[in-house]
Amino acid sequence: MPEFDAIVVGAGPAGSTAARELAAGGARVLVVDKETFPRYKACGGGIPLRTERLFPFPLDPVIEDSVHLLDVACRGQSRFVKDSGAPFAHMVMRDRFDALLLEQAKTAGAAFRAETTVRSVEIGDDVTVRSPGFEATASYLVCADGAHSPVGRMAGLGENIAECAAWEVELRAPAAQLARYHATSLIDVGYHPWGYAWLFPKASVLSIGIVLPREQAGTMKERVNGYVARLGLGSAEVDIARGHKIRFRRANEPIARGRVLLAGDAAGLADEFTEEGIFYAVESGRIAARNVLRALGAGAGLESYERDINHEVMPELRAARLVGHMFYGMLRHAERPWMFASAHAPFLWDAFFAVQRGESTYARELARVPVLPGLAARQLARR
């Protein structure tokens, strides 16, 4: 008999959420991670307000700031500021945020083993994972091991998922500069063919970074340095500088088979307009737990997980991709008019804020202007 009902590889938002809900449902769960916690995680740390609705516990202990101002510019020009009137996102440091989620999973009854790098996976009537000096067996395996997902690849899942590159620095800025950006998220667009630089305020640091197509990864450091200098922060101490990748599931790439599934970044569940993935990681962790508990009761495989992701998550990710394609397409073809229109037309940002707060969805907002999404969808289909 397997030692566990489920083994979860990766203690980020997807893995810890899946583990917490599995344990709360009575399952025997083991979470393994190659790191010790808390640990630094390269990420802007902006969490849409809608994310907190997915948790049965408060996030207040790890919220560093809450933003209601969006400061938008195009390579430093055509700047405008939109006030959502109420917070649309929380700012967190991922070491503290992820540690909170893991602690909640442990409180629910999940076991945790740190510093455990899975080197092999054996899949048969059950699943066995092995690392140096350690072996465990379970009925099901949840791969929540990030965008690189080595364990997912061992299981033959997650191939051919699109990706992009990101680079981030944490700046130890003086108190006056930290105060200047309180409650304000900066977005700088104008990178071709798409991409943006950001500044997200935290309690003691400013998180600054850029996201670009994978082919431009080699230019990220220089561009972030230029952005930092343009903001007048060139003298601030760099605490941490690190790159990472973001994956986007666009079609029907397999993310579940038999006794194994992929969740969160491992499955490419990120939004191609904002490149945000924490909300979808948590949601996919919930869906993963639901399907593993169902499979435990029926002795079935996890193919239903992929169907649920396709039904509950993928329509929103496809809508976000269309929004991003339209936004960046207009920016490429008519930069100044589009920035002027963006600054003065309330619909775009009102819709954005409503989505981030969970009051609407990308799909619902697109349905209000059906002509443009139809054109964008046809253009994407020809790629």
**pLDDT tens for each residue of 81-126:** 999 999 999 999 999 999 999 999 999 999 999 999 999 999 999 9
The CB-based long-range contact list for 341-349 (8 Å cut-off, 24+ gap) reads 342/72, 342/80, 343/72, 343/78, 343/80, 349/70, 349/82, 349/84
| CA nearest to 6, candidates 298, 308, 295 | 295
In a shared domain, residues 355 and 273? no
Average pLDDT over residues 67-83: 97
In a shared domain, residues 362 and 290? no
Is 61 a member of any domain? no
Is 52 a member of any domain? no
What pLDDT is attached to residue 382?
Answer: 57
Residue 331 confidence (pLDDT) above 90: yes
Cα distances (Å, whole numbers) of residue 372 to 76, 319, 331, 340, 382: 28, 12, 15, 19, 16
In a shared domain, residues 301 and 337? no
Last residue within a domain, chosen from 259, 283, 312 = 312
What pLDDT is attached to residue 305?
Answer: 98
In a shared domain, residues 172 and 294? no
> Which one is predicted more confidently, 377 or 127?
127
2-16, 95-109, 252-266, 363-377: the lowest-pLDDT one: 363-377
In a shared domain, residues 156 and 228? no
What lies within 8 Å, CB to CB, of 340 at 6+ separation is 78
In a shared domain, residues 265 and 293? yes
Q: What is the mean pLDDT of the chain?
A: 94
In a shared domain, residues 234 and 254? no
In a shared domain, residues 231 and 113? no
pLDDT band at 345 (very low <50, low <70, confident <90, very high): confident
Token digits of residue 55:
């948790």
The CB-based long-range contact list for 229-232 (8 Å cut-off, 24+ gap) reads 230/76, 231/186, 231/199
Residue 34 confidence (pLDDT) above 60: yes
- CATH number for position 236: 3.30.9.10
pLDDT tens digits, residue range 269-293?
999 999 999 999 999 999 999 999 9
Distance between CA 210 and CA 220 in Å, rounded?
7
Token digits of residue 369:
């202007």
What pLDDT is attached to residue 297?
Answer: 84
Distance between CA 215 and CA 235 in Å, rounded?
30
Is 58 a member of any domain? no
| CA nearest to 141, candidates 277, 249, 3, 270 | 3
CB distance 185 to 67 below 8 Å: yes
Helix (H, G, I), strand (E, B) or coil at 166: strand
Helix (H, G, I), strand (E, B) or coil at 350: helix
Last residue within a domain, chosen from 210, 225, 241 = 241
pLDDT tens digits, residue range 203-227?
999 999 999 999 999 999 999 999 9
Domain boundaries, position 334? 323-381
pLDDT tens digits, residue range 188-206?
999 999 999 999 999 999 9
CB distance 261 to 306 below 8 Å: yes
Is 119 a member of any domain? yes
Going by their DSSP bridges, the two strands 89-92 and 63-67 should be labelled as antiparallel
In a shared domain, residues 101 and 85? no
Classify 253 in phi/psi space as left (phi over 0), alpha (psi -120 to 50) or beta.
Answer: beta
Residue 379 confidence (pLDDT) above 70: no
Is 60 a member of any domain? no
In a shared domain, residues 16 and 138? yes
What pLDDT is attached to residue 369?
Answer: 75
DSSP 99: H
CB distance 356 to 89 below 8 Å: yes
What lies within 8 Å, CB to CB, of 167 at 6+ separation is 209, 210, 217, 220, 221, 224, 241, 242, 243
Last residue within a domain, chosen from 209, 241, 273 = 241
φ/ψ of residue 26, rounded to 5: 95, 5
In a shared domain, residues 74 and 184? yes
Average pLDDT over residues 329-341: 93
What pLDDT is attached to residue 347?
Answer: 87
pLDDT band at 373 (very low <50, low <70, confident <90, very high): low
Residue 336 confidence (pLDDT) above 60: yes
What pLDDT is attached to residue 299?
Answer: 83
CA 172, 190, 269: angle at the middle one, nearest 5? 75
In a shared domain, residues 84 and 220? yes
How many separate domains does the chain show? 3
Is 317 a member of any domain? no
Is 189 a member of any domain? yes
E-strand ranges in the chain read: 4-9, 29-32, 46-48, 63-67, 69-74, 77-83, 89-92, 111-113, 120-123, 127-131, 134-143, 162-172, 184-189, 196-201, 206-213, 237-248, 256-257, 260-262
What pLDDT is attached to residue 174?
Answer: 87
- CATH number for position 308: 3.50.50.60
Is 318 a member of any domain? no
pLDDT tens digits, residue range 347-361?
889 999 999 999 999
Residue 308 confidence (pLDDT) above 80: yes
**Burial of residue 36 (number of CB atoms within 10 Å: 0-12, 13-18, 19+):** exposed
pLDDT tens digits, residue range 4-25?
999 999 999 999 999 999 999 9
pLDDT band at 1 (very low <50, low <70, confident <90, very high): low
Helix (H, G, I), strand (E, B) or coil at 312: helix
pLDDT band at 168 (very low <50, low <70, confident <90, very high): very high
What lies within 8 Å, CB to CB, of 152 at 6+ separation is 143, 145, 158, 260, 262, 266
φ/ψ of residue 184, rounded to 5: -125, 130
Q: Which residues pair with 164 in a beta bridge?
A: 213, 246
User: Which amino acid type is present at position 265?
Assistant: D
